[in-house]
Amino acid sequence: MSEEWFIKTPCKHCPFRRDVKPVLTPERGEELAYAATNPYNSFLCHKTMEYDDYDDDGDMKATEDSKTCAGFLTLQINEGMDCPKGFTPADNVYSDAYEMIDAYEDQEDQ
């Protein structure tokens, strides 16, 4: 069996989980939520990125071992994208981009 290109479940710090306090800025939360509405976008799990080797922009670097975030993939499926074989969408991820955006905006108001 070949290795899968996605993480199976959202981690405890996943920004797409509705049961975790939002930690990103509302602007970044909105950006990620809208990114999930496009089937051509991807978002790699921060746990699979290279932390001590940064690219020219100062961002974390993807490696051959980097995998798509389970929260992002679940939100894409919730937005109507096809579910890849072997993946089960998580119940604790926002139901759509608007719910995620609202949660991040509400966090700023508190």
pLDDT tens for residues 52-85?
Answer: 655 566 667 888 889 999 999 999 999 999 999 9
The pLDDT score that the predictor gives to residue 62 is 82
DSSP 8-class letter at 47: G
pLDDT tens for residues 25-61?
Answer: 999 999 999 999 999 999 999 888 876 655 566 667 8
The pLDDT score that the predictor gives to residue 1 is 38
Rg over alpha carbons for the chain, rounded to the nearest Å, is 14
In a domain, 53, yes or no: yes
CA 52 – CA 43 distance, rounded (Å): 19
The range of the structural domain enclosing residue 75 comes to 26-109
In a domain, 79, yes or no: yes
CA 93 – CA 52 distance, rounded (Å): 29
In a domain, 20, yes or no: no
- Domain count of the fold of the chain: 1
In a domain, 77, yes or no: yes
CA 53 – CA 16 distance, rounded (Å): 25
47 or 8, higher pLDDT: 8
In a domain, 41, yes or no: yes
In a domain, 89, yes or no: yes
